[in-house]
């Protein structure tokens, strides 16, 4: 049987990190185009879009002034700023929404994601603390998603026990993001093999999610089923070719489970085009690999 890399950390994909259009990683439609029309037409389109956005922002500000206790217009303004990549202004609008209603879940969730991409995990933990201390203030489905975010922030701070506590407090309302977060936390914990049931449930909830497919593939690999793992990683790549994790995990699969260094090197090369993180030091493993013997003759 091929030897297995039991200590491998793999690249578990945190759903929060893949869901907000920040730091150049656009997953919402932000007026990007695959091809450019003639310059004059494009200029008119851009001008029209800018004017429309300005009108929407004006409407949002007017509504904020008319309804000073309502967080919804401030949240709408924040989303408009996010679509323009104006992150500081978006954060200010989100904070205003929460000043009006500290339990307004859309603003809490969006600001949590913004903090995640910016590495501001301690701030996010402090902001989300009431979800644990005052759960009755939040609807069940909202609490599920917010606790999932809290768990991811705690994990990023290295607080595995607190991450598990946050997940354990989730009301199991079936939120897709929360399901992915549960898998992420379980795979990163001391008993990652227990994550397979959670990963399968997350995949059943959303079988088209590249994140869910990647994380389910990891559980298959840990369970000693490289065939099922390869299928899951391949499917993840088809769903989202830009998601780095599946490429890295296929490199681990080929090198340490199927013992094919050449295939592993090809997957790792594809991975490095998308990310520079290397939790299992694969670059060093490939650098130290023996070179193939030269063929005799011409």
What is the CATH number for 247? 1.25.40.10
Percent of the chain that is helix, strand, coil (3-state, to 5): 65, 0, 35
Q: Report the predicted TM-score, pTM, of the whole model to 2 decimal places.
A: 0.62
In the chain, the number of structural domains is 1
In angstroms, the CA 80 to CA 103 distance is: 21
In a domain, 232, yes or no: yes
pLDDT tens track, the chain, 298 positions: 344 444 455 666 655 544 333 222 222 222 222 233 334 445 444 455 556 667 899 999 999 999 999 999 999 999 999 999 999 999 999 999 999 999 999 999 999 999 988 999 999 999 999 999 999 999 888 898 899 889 889 988 989 889 888 888 877 645 555 666 777 776 766 555 567 777 777 777 777 888 889 888 888 888 888 999 999 999 999 999 999 999 999 999 999 888 999 999 999 999 999 988 888 888 988 887 665 544 444 3
Q: 22: helix, coil or strand?
A: strand
DSSP SS3 for 89: helix
C-beta separation of 257 from 221 below 8 A:
yes
Domain that holds residue 105: 16-20+51-285
Please report whether residue 295 resides in a domain: no
For residue 291, tell me if it sits in a domain. Answer: no
**Residue 2 lies inside a defined structural domain of this protein:** no
Instruction: Determine contact, residues 196/220, Cβ cutoff 8 Å.
Output: yes
Half-sphere exposure of 174 (CA within 13 A, CB side): 3
- Is residue 260 in a domain? yes
Residue 8 lies in a domain: no
Q: Residue 37, CB half-sphere, CA atoms under 13 Å: how many?
A: 8
Is 222 inside a domain boundary?
yes
Q: Is residue 215 part of a domain?
A: yes
Name the burial class of residue 268, with classes exposed (0-12), middle (13-18) and buried (19+) by CB atoms within 10 angstroms of its CB: buried
Instruction: Specify the DSSP class assigned to residue 38.
Output: -
């Amino acid at each position: 049987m091929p030897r297995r890399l039991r200590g491998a950390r793999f690249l578990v994909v945190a759903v929060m990190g893949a869901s907000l259009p920040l730091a150049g990683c656009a997953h919402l439609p932000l007026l990007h185009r695959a091809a450019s029309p003639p310059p004059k037409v494009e200029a008119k389109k851009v001008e029209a879009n800018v004017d429309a956005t300005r009108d929407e922002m004006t409407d949002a500000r007017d509504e904020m002034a008319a309804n000073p206790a309502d967080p919804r217009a401030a949240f709408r303004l924040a989303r408009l700023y996010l679509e323009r990549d104006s992150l500081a202004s978006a954060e200010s609008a989100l904070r205003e929404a929460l000043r009006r209603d500290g339990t307004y879940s859309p603003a809490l969730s969006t600001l949590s994601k913004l903090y995640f991409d910016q590495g501001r995990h301690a701030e996010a933990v402090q902001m989300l603390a009431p979800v644990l201390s005052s759960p009755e203030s939040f609807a069940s489905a909202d609490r599920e998603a917010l606790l999932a975010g809290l768990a991811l922030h705690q994990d990023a701070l290295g607080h595995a026990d607190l991450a598990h506590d946050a997940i354990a407090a989730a009301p199991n309302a079936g939120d897709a993001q929360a399901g992915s977060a549960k898998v992420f936390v379980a795979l990163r914990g001391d008993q990652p093999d227990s994550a397979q049931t959670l990963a399968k449930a997350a995949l059943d909830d959303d079988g088209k999610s590249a994140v869910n497919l990647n994380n389910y593939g990891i559980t298959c690999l840990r369970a000693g089923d490289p065939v099922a793992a390869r299928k899951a990683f391949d499917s993840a790549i088809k769903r989202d070719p830009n998601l780095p994790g599946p490429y890295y995990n296929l490199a681990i699969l080929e090198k340490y489970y199927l013992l094919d260094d050449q295939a592993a090197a090809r997957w790792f090369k594809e991975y490095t085009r998308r990310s520079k993180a290397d939790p299992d030091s694969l670059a060093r493993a490939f650098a130290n690999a023996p070179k193939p013997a030269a063929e005799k003759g011409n």
